[in-house]
Amino acid sequence: MSLELQKQHEHMDAYVMIKHLKYMFEGQALQGRFDTSKALYVYKQGDHNPVGPYVLKMIGYMEYLATIGSTIGPEAQIDLILQSLNNNYAQFVMNYNMNEIHKTPIELLAILKIIETNIQKASLAPIMMVNKGSAKGKGKWKGKKRMGSKSVVAAKTTPKQALKSGSGIAKGDTCHYCKKPDHWKRNCHAFLEDQKNKKATGTSDSGTVGK
């Protein structure tokens, strides 16, 4: 007993002193029970709260209530914990009740920690798959970039080949017929004119058409 309490009760006999002390501490116990019960029944796990510290705090509330004579039954303790978990544990809670599992709060806490780890792994799996797929797709595009497109074909075609295949003008070549540059024999005006005249007179050229 503290010195202040001793002074308050020094003139009381034993019976009166016990009754007074009981009245004092019962009032404190009632208020403590009310505050703790209120905190316990409205306590809910947030979406991002780790399950370990959260359940330990609930167990602490229930143990304190037991010390002041307000014990909660074992099944009710488990119900309070399961009902207060966030939606991430909804499937586990349903399985727990359907299978009629019986655990103490400490044993339940150990199981919930394992479930929490599995939930975290499951939430990370889609992100890892998306990142892996994006990197793979990027590599494919890089390897096949513009393959078969006009720009690649154009890069492999020389200016001289483009002139021969497009306009029929042989830039820089010399005609074998008139010996003038920048055309071939088959495009030579002199050759074509001579061929026309020969056909008109009934003669033919034994030479072959070429360069």
What is the per-residue pLDDT across 91-123, written as a single tens digit (0 to 9) for each?
999 999 999 888 999 999 999 999 999 998 887
Through-space distance between the first and last CA atoms of the chain, rounded to whole angstroms: 127
The contacts of residue 86 (CB under 8 Å, 6+ apart) are: 44, 45, 46, 47, 49
What is the per-residue pLDDT across 37-81, written as a single tens digit (0 to 9) for each?
999 999 999 988 999 999 999 999 999 888 888 889 999 999 999
| pLDDT higher than threshold 50 for residue 155 | no
CA-wise closest residue to 44 among 74, 83, 93? 83
Q: Please tell me the distance from the alpha carbon of residue 5 to that of residue 80, in angstroms, as a whole number.
A: 39
Distances from the Cα of 178 to the Cα of 25, 175, 189, 192, angstroms: 130, 6, 9, 11
The model's pTM is: 0.48
Distances from the Cα of 16 to the Cα of 23, 26, 127, 203, angstroms: 11, 15, 71, 155
Look up tokens 């009166």; give the residue. Answer: 16
Angle at 36 between CA 33 and CA 37, to 5 degrees: 80
